[in-house]
Chain A
């Protein structure tokens, strides 16, 4: 059994501790393990702590207790995080704030290459163009500013930027939540395609169980900072154990299961 590609073990996060106020436990003893090649879904409603957990796993938030490990090694120092971020990348939810408003798309995509000196400067435009094509965008878009793109295009650029460093792991935080249905479908199809082509392992966070069902192999259901259920997607959806999971599934609108015949 190989080590998880990335895992968070025993994570506590108390937002109140800093100001010495009442404890606000966003996360309580949460453990999350991602294995190679799988798509893990973190699902929960607002306040479940799923976004906080994902931010702790990429190091932009610090846990009050617990540790993050990659391939068995604990990530502690800033140098460790820098090394981790060479193969673990993060995609933010809101495409309008996740891209620098004053930087052209081409420059934003070339930046990771420049920072890590991956290829000579002359080679960067070609790589950027290739990546834009891989996410289904025309290479000419490199000259535009984020404000000149649609929400769906911006989200693809976000994905592209995360992929420039050719990571093994992607953490996606509600990346399709603000998008129209047809745009969402395009981005999901793209993600599936990329996962297959590049062999990515993905942690996918969402509150929408239908998207999670479509995308994920394994699921962790979170409620108020704790993992209440986890397991293979098929099992969770067909035979949920926990009452909360059942309640969540029951609340989801479904065209094939109209429940209210009393009013037409």
Chain B
């Protein structure tokens, strides 16, 4: 068992609120080794994007991060910018949902990627060019040599995202964080990107954190799944196991409300009633209690659920399950 690359325990990210701190992320934790994958599933307000940004140290300045977060044993919380810089790009890279955040509109594609390559590795201009073409091809861009002189604005949305992916790959990171990176891509390109990420894990031992709201996509990506709601993890386990045997009412609700290739109007979707809570507004108690159909009176409103084991490696934070097992599930 190799030493983990990334370790997180009891991570909390909070903002100053009018009546006290608002916890946008509360008690998240996992370990990630080389070649392993963590899929974080959740919707808006679940804190998943904030969590990823805190790993790279790019969370908003008004956010306070506490808990334990370490990369190869070195704590990342409160790490100053000078020591973070060599990590970003070379050790850890992030792919955002919107590529315009990652791409400089005034520089050509070739120049941007070439800059990153040469920053992290001493090489000649030809070598940098070759490496640029290589990563552009890896990311699935057709005719990569012709893309070098393009500006981001000359490319379609899907191509821009692939350039952003190539940019993330160019310094050869050990950890890639993909935050809804394929959400705006066409399905065929999404499949290609997922296959690419899988190859990187298998062949190069790259660790992957994949954030998505699409549980079917989570199944494709594979690895361990962490379902988050209102900033708190509610269920974790191997992806296939959790999806085959979902326990937490939120996970079950998500699965029941997502259409599949076999659902039709005759088998109506069952949407989760109510609305996602604003970050930090759940307060004490089980985070999902306002929308849960199997709330335990008196308990869910007061205490946060502890982790209960549902199977080997499969943990759930749910009072109802802890009390009644699978019988009590919606």
Contact = CB atoms under 8 A, between A and B. Distances in A.
Q: Do chains A and B touch in the complex (CB under 8 A)?
A: yes
A87 to B, nearest CB: 23
B259 A248 contact: no
Contact of B158 (A46, A180, A247): A46
A189 B214 contact: no
B289 interface: no
Given A181-B254, A253-B214, A258 B219 contact: yes
Given A180-B43, A213-B262, A263-B37, 8 more contacts: A180-B276, A181-B43, A185-B271, A185-B272, A188-B269, A214-B259, A254-B261, A258-B219
Contacts, number: 130
Contact of A256 (B213, B223, B260): B260
B111 to A, nearest CB: 26
Instruction: Return the 7 tightest CB-CB contacts between A and B, nearest first.
Output: A185-B257, A185-B271, A214-B259, A45-B186, A255-B219, A180-B43, A251-B191
Interface of B: 35, 37, 43-44, 156-158, 186-188, 190-191, 194-195, 198, 201-202, 213-220, 222-223, 238, 240, 243, 253-255, 257-265, 268-272, 275-276
A215 interface: yes
Contacts of B269: 185, 188-189, 214
Query: Of residues B44, B190, B223, B271, which shows the largest number of chain A Cβ atoms within 10 Å of its Cβ?
Result: B271
Interface in A237-263: 237, 247-256, 258-260, 262-263
A264 B188 contact: no
B271 A182 contact: yes
Which of A183, A253, A256 is the most central at the interface, judged by chain B CB atoms within 10 Å of its CB? A253
A182 B223 contact: no
Contacts of B265: 192, 214-215
Contact of A237 (B188, B190, B261): B261
Given A189-B268, A263-B198, A181 B219 contact: no
Interface string A150-182: 111000000000000000000000000000111
B259 A188 contact: yes
A75 B243 CA distance: 50
A263 B201 contact: yes
25 contacts: A181-B254, A181-B257, A182-B43, A182-B272, A182-B276, A183-B43, A185-B257, A185-B271, A186-B271, A188-B269, A188-B271, A208-B187, A213-B259, A213-B260, A213-B261, A251-B187, A251-B188, A253-B190, A253-B220, A255-B216, A255-B260, A256-B260, A258-B220, A260-B195, A262-B198
A258 B201 contact: no
A247 B218 CA distance: 20
Contacts of B254: 181-182
Contacts of A263: 35, 37, 198, 201-202, 222
B268 A181 contact: no
A211 interface: yes
Contacts of A214: 259, 263-265, 269
A209 interface: yes
A207 B158 contact: no
A210 B258 CA distance: 9
B202 A262 contact: yes
A5 interface: no
